[in-house]
Amino acid sequence: MEAFPHKDYAYIFFSLTTDQKTLNYSSSKFPIFDELYNNEHEQVVICSDPDTGLKAIIAIHNTTLGPSLGGTRMWNYESEEAALRDVLRLSRGMTYKSAISGLNLGGGKAIIIGDARTDKTEALFRAFGRFVDGLGGRYITAEDVGMTEKEMEWIYSETKYVTGIPKALGGSGNPSPVTAYGVYMGVKACAKKAYGSDSLEGKKIALQGAGNVASSFARHAAKEGAKLYISDIYEDKAKALVEEVGGELVNNPDDIYGLDVDIFTPSALGGVINDDTLKQFKCDIIAGAANNVLDEEDKHGQMLLDKGIIYAPDYVINAGGIINIASELEGYDEERALNNAGNIYNTITDILSYSEEHGIPAHKASNALAEKRIETVGKIKNKYSSNAHVSGRFGSMYKRFID
């Protein structure tokens, strides 16, 4: 992604909240402040609560368009450096996702280090909720990998700055179905570009991941007559989905990259388009729900273009989740959320056309369109307004948070 046009708006604030040993920046192998400055992050907060075992990081990338919003991911990272790198990349992607989707939201993300299958407790998530609340609305959290409505409800016990809460509490519930529908529509837009028809009937799709979003996408694609090849690091999940949609199990997850298919749909973790996998791909299209699938964005985005593979930028095609949450903040209506997510078809079409017209990779085309919106709105925000934070659409969207 290119640098933001309003660099003067960005500031860096690294907040270390812990009663553990002070972080030794001089001996760190990860240049934290250089990384924040280069990617123009505004704020990073390290959250530690030894009593509950909470180890979390909240990253706020850009708030030009509005308060940052992005899900909390729970994952057992191999190192603290890997966790920090992930949250920085994810939060940056949320800025672009909101901008390209036409939302009045900035980009933020959070990660909790831990095993989502064994480490969840009410106390841990309530402790996390208090850290979110302490940011006063600069960051609004939601569901991501490893999280469910239950954890959102626990977080909601401590802060109003949370979305994806159960419908019984006035929220939108699990965003996965809307996210998956947006992915499905984006894949169809890519098929239209590649084959002249957006029908997925008879198309062979390699689906990496069998989580909530991947499963919902698989149901849409199977219903239309697609042939699905499914893998997941948890074989039991993959088998269950294969049985449900009549797909074929890929026993070794690493074999998913080299299958002779029409479409590769990465719907697990990021970095899966890299030097090694690019040698294996035999597909025409790469379009899926996972975030940050390009390991080295500019390098591998260009390599996809050179190989003639149509690529749907990840943060665009999986934007149904944040579109769903934005609908929740306005007063949730599921039909409206699905209709808005369906517009991802048109957004992907525009991006692919811009990419072809300018001879640039799809991710750069998408970035350019997103940055143009951020620049335009940023200029407007230079104008004085006595009550800008509660005026117009922005006020109606966030009335729940300014009581």
Catalytic residue among 7, 29, 97, 109: 109
Asked whether the beta carbons of 149 and 167 are under 8 A apart, the reply is: no
Query: Is residue 364 annotated as part of the catalytic site, yes or no?
Result: no
Asked whether the beta carbons of 12 and 31 are under 8 A apart, the reply is: no
Q: What is the C-alpha separation between 121 and 5, in angstroms, rounded?
A: 42
Cα–Cα nearest to 3, from 45, 41, 59, 44? 41
Q: Which helix (H) or strand (E) holds 194?
A: helix 176-195
Q: What is the C-alpha separation between 298 and 312, in angstroms, rounded?
A: 14
> What is the number of alpha carbons within 13 Å of residue 327 lying toward its C-beta?
23
202: left (phi over 0), alpha (psi -120 to 50) or beta: left
Specify the residue for token string 């692919």: 352
Please name the amino acid found at residue 168: A
Helices 344-358 and 176-195 pack at an angle, to 10 degrees, of: 40
Which pair of structure tokens corresponds to residue 72? 């909390």
Q: What is the C-alpha separation between 301 and 274, in angstroms, rounded?
A: 10
Which pair of structure tokens corresponds to residue 338? 């699905």
Active-site residue set: 109
